Structure 1
């Protein structure tokens, strides 16, 4: 495999700490001097992309502890406890989701659901009487803009969404940082909730799926523009998720009795593609 240039820096820049980090990670590399500059080489463009991202985070290396490759690139998967330590924001969002699932009894406790839903409501017999949206905002209940993402209806709904947030969230947290993941989660939550309200009107909805489609779109488009191993999803995942989105949009699932938040899925996916486009374009330009 031909060597690929990763970094070209002045001789005054001390690369010793970063080179030591690469040695501990057992990354094949070499440093050469060309025209008064030092050049770092690795075999392959894919590895070069990962090392550039690593240098942005740890230009001086990390002499205090041995860093590990992210779970998606390690030959052997890290233990679950280690994965939690490496993905604190992902774990925190899932913890809030599980707490909400517990206090709402997975969608059966409407007394607690009404405090997390997009609009306040009161149950009267078999119907829900919603408080007008302007009145909700006037009461200062702004948390409702985001909290519907923590509501889940049934164990399968919770399990599927949690699994995919764990898978996608960890990738973004490793490669672009926990604060970027937090910002994307809040952004996709706001957009998907608003889109679902616009799509279906006053209703009781919830779940992380709108956020998940946002994270999927972000990784998908970013990877097309600036390939990296962290966002290299297993083959067929994007196609499968898009096919499921089309099936839900067709109305087949509603005929089967399953209520799907199509507005949330669509809003999250569109916004995720936009953030992936911006982030990927900026990363491509830096390279």
Structure 2
């Protein structure tokens, strides 16, 4: 058998396996302790055909063809052994949140809360007014603008995508890979934005763009790697960039978004042949 795909949704995995079974592509499922489902192709001689179907599935995971296949197949396919009851919402959220993911979440929430209380967090954490200051004792201010958010909507939007995407990367690629993406996609896009508009910016959006691009392209280049996003998310990313540069979204750190996206794409390309942890 050969590993075909890793998903974090057992029901969706079962639907996809039912669909493949209807094409004569038999798969077996295994479930790990983190509720990640591995799909193993039994007949390796049909690997190329199965890979084409995986790419279709990643592009359109909610397409009715998969649910229809599940209804047609009934209970003839491999079922998961019964275990403990499904976790509650809080436990499910925590199970998808690694330590680095949680640390950044708490840091952003803390900074926002202190700002709301009137403390001068922007003055402490914003990008320095002169690049020379980054070479001295305030080097960390090249990163800390990512922790600043200027409205509740701004905070909630960024933290939701950070939690979802960073959790996926941390579980499947490890803490080190997420830390690398976090640092590079904060530092370089922040520098780009400073050169374009000065130090009046902040937010985790550049990092979110990097993670979006990384997860999407990783799924396209290595479908069995356990991470991926529908192509619609890539379209959303590009449209949001265009709207930002067109001025339709108000004052937005457009170069930070663009820089983050490019970093995510490059890192996914570099990682395309590496083994998944």
Q: TM-score band, normalised by the shorter chain?
A: 0.5 to 0.7
Task: Render the CA deviation track for 1:178-214: whole Å, top value 9, x for unaligned.
Answer: 221111111111111111112213x321000000111
Matched, 1:171 2:182: no
Root-mean-square deviation (Å): 3.4
Matching residue of 1:283: 274
Alignment of 1:230-241 (within 5 A): 230-234=226-230, 236-241=232-237
In 2, distance between residues paired with 1:234 and 1:77? 26
Structure 1 stretches lacking a partner, 5+ long: 8-20, 33-38, 47-67, 69-75, 120-129
RCO higher in structure (CA 8 A, sep ≥6): 2
**Structure 2 SS opposite 1:104:** helix
Q: TM-score, normalised by structure 1?
A: 0.65
In 2, distance between residues paired with 1:28 and 1:171? 18
**Structure 1 SS opposite 2:2:** strand
Matched, 1:272 2:269: no
Matching residue of 2:253: 261
Matching residue of 1:80: 90
In 1, distance between residues paired with 2:151 and 2:241? 20
**C-alpha spacing 1:78/1:44, structure 2 compared with 1 (3 Å):** farther
Q: TM-score, normalised by structure 2?
A: 0.67
Which sits farther off after the overlay, 265-274 or 86-95? 86-95
**C-alpha spacing 1:103/1:268, structure 2 compared with 1 (3 Å):** same
Task: Render the CA deviation track for 1:24-74: whole Å, top value 9, x for unaligned.
Answer: 778676999xxxxxx9x999555xxxxxxxxxxxxxxxxxxxxx9xxxxxx
**C-alpha spacing 1:44/1:159, structure 2 compared with 1 (3 Å):** same
Q: Which has the larger radius of gyration?
A: 1
CA drift of 1:145 comes to 1.0
